[in-house]
Amino acid sequence: MRGLSTAETDIVEACAAEPMLDQVQSWAAVNSGSRNLDGLARMAAIYAEEFGELPGELTLREPAPVDAMEADGSLKALGHGHNLHLKVRPDAPVQLLFTGHMDTVFAADHPFQSLSWREEGVLNGPGVADMKGGIAVMLAALKAVEKSSLAAQLGYEVVINSDEEVGSPGSAPLIAETARGKKAALTYEPSALPDGTLAGARPGSGNFSIFIEGRSAHAGRNPEDGRNAVVAAADLALRLSKAKGPRLSVNPAKIEGGGPNNVVPDRAVLRVNMRPFTPEDEVRAKSALDAAVAMVAAEHEVRIHVHGEFGRPPKPLDPQAEKLFALVKRCGEDLGQHIQWQATGGVCDGNNIAACGVPVIDTMGVRGGAIHSSDEYLIVDSLVERAQLSALTILRLASGETF
């Protein structure tokens, strides 16, 4: 390690003493799929005990109310788990935000539930990279920083939410609340590439459930009296797909509806994801959605109700974010780590934080890959690497280093 003070060296070396691999193996053994409320409650209790070793006030916060559209167009309350919230030294001169998520994409009945070694130093398992490994990195870095004389200059909040993998609908208000007034934020998604490359700019994301109400009729005797909701949904899907381009991706993902072959279907639901690359693209995407809905409603003589929103705002790489990346890059150089970044098509809570005007790096977690699949893996050496990178970044932010 070059360019580190004696105090910095002591702190980054303390990261290596933390039992991160043991933690990841233990945590990954608990299924915490986004809809597994019992599993999420277990993880929340485990994380509350682990993060309870840090100073400050720790609470498990209720999620905000959320509803979802059913296949018949009705809205139903959708439950989410509690969200861990830790507040440390709120009056300190430097205030930071650290976020992660306890949920995974693997449901309680998913076949991928166990750990195995792909090869020496490469651990395969549900959530080991995304992001139970990242949470272990965050905790190790914060525990090390608390041993520094600079800790008194640093205040921070930690949010570990339960619904990131489904868009953070129940935790978005908490994220916005805790982002206020922060100098910077670090989020512990896995690196964008196995070599440790960070994610830079990200598109936004909007999920929409669109209910089409037509009119039923006999398919043989008087089909002309019917208004086919499934055909209208298909037409809407095609129109929306034509709105895609280099700065907007559109994915009509599912059509639900219909019934017996001899009945003109009067109800259908179209599920669509839209990903605009800039705030201006988001405005254009919403206009394209509104225009397509209006045209289909008029041409097919159906009623249409749109449920959903752009829950992840676009995250362009603005000048403040570029300066924060440069600071992390310098920290990496002093640790002998080569840090670079690139734009990615994925979205995460970093989108929401950046929308609050706070510069954020949202891939400070482990190196690994194949996330969201049964091949997901963690490169074990990256636990110490990334904890040290976080600790040094936090120390330098606490010292008042500008970016």
Is the separation of the CB atoms in 200 and 341 below 8 Å?
Answer: yes
Q: Angle at the Cα of 330 (from 338 to 143), degrees rounded to 5?
A: 95
Alpha-carbon dihedral sign for residues 317, 207, 28, 106: negative
User: In this predicted structure, what is the pLDDT of residue 401?
Assistant: 82
Does pTM top 0.85 for this prediction? yes
Q: Specify whether domain 6-202+315-398 bears CATH 3.40.630.10.
A: yes
- Per-residue pLDDT tens digits for 57-84: 999 999 999 999 999 999 999 999 999 9
Backbone angles phi, psi at 90, to 5 degrees: -65, -15
Backbone angles phi, psi at 216, to 5 degrees: -80, 155
Q: Alpha helix (H) ranges present in 153-271? A: 172-179, 229-241
- Per-residue pLDDT tens digits for 217-269: 999 999 999 999 999 999 999 999 999 999 999 999 999 999 999 999 999 99
Question: For residues 105 and 361, what is the distance between their CA atoms, to the nearest angstrom?
Answer: 22
Q: DSSP code of 254?
A: E
Local confidence band at 118 (pLDDT 50, 70, 90 cut-offs): very high
402 has a pLDDT exceeding 80: no
Question: For residues 238 and 246, what is the distance between their CA atoms, to the nearest angstrom?
Answer: 18
Local confidence band at 199 (pLDDT 50, 70, 90 cut-offs): very high
Give Cα 151 to chain centroid, integer Å: 28
Is the separation of the CB atoms in 279 and 294 below 8 Å?
Answer: no
Segment 173-199 mean pLDDT: 97
Question: What is the overall mean pLDDT for the chain?
Answer: 97
- Per-residue pLDDT tens digits for 121-141: 999 999 999 999 999 999 999
Strand locations in 38-174 (E):
57-61, 67-69, 75-77, 83-88, 94-101, 116-119, 122-124, 154-161
User: In this predicted structure, what is the pLDDT of residue 267?
Assistant: 98
User: In this predicted structure, what is the pLDDT of residue 2?
Assistant: 76
Is the separation of the CB atoms in 317 and 201 below 8 Å?
Answer: yes
403 has a pLDDT exceeding 90: no
Alpha-carbon dihedral sign for residues 376, 382, 383, 388: negative
Instruction: Locate 395 and state its tokens.
Output: 């120390």
3 has a pLDDT exceeding 90: no
Backbone angles phi, psi at 263, to 5 degrees: -125, 130
What topology does CATH give the domain 205-312?
A: Alpha-Beta Plaits (3.30.70)
Torsion of CA 39, 42, 44, 50, to 10 degrees: -140
Count of C-beta atoms within a 10 Å radius of residue 2: 7
Segment 383-390 mean pLDDT: 98
Strand locations in 277-367 (E):
303-312, 341-342, 360-361
1 has a pLDDT exceeding 80: no
User: In this predicted structure, what is the pLDDT of residue 361?
Assistant: 98
- Per-residue pLDDT tens digits for 25-57: 999 999 999 999 999 999 999 999 999 999 999
Question: For residues 212 and 73, what is the distance between their CA atoms, to the nearest angstrom?
Answer: 8
Q: Position 141: which residue type?
A: A
Is the separation of the CB atoms in 225 and 234 below 8 Å?
Answer: no
Is the separation of the CB atoms in 276 and 355 below 8 Å?
Answer: no
Burial 313-349 (b: 16+ CB within 10 A, else e): bbbbbeebbeebbebbbbbbebbebebebeebebbbb
The domain spans of the chain are 6-202+315-398, 205-312
Q: Minimal CA–CA distance to 278: which of 175, 182, 169, 355? A: 355
Question: For residues 310 and 302, what is the distance between their CA atoms, to the nearest angstrom?
Answer: 25
Backbone angles phi, psi at 206, to 5 degrees: -130, 135
> Which helix (H) or strand (E) segment is 47 a member of?
helix 37-51
Question: For residues 186 and 96, what is the distance between their CA atoms, to the nearest angstrom?
Answer: 8
Local confidence band at 156 (pLDDT 50, 70, 90 cut-offs): very high
Backbone angles phi, psi at 189, to 5 degrees: -65, 155
User: In this predicted structure, what is the pLDDT of residue 256?
Assistant: 98
How many residues belong to the chain? 403
Question: For residues 259 and 299, what is the distance between their CA atoms, to the nearest angstrom?
Answer: 23
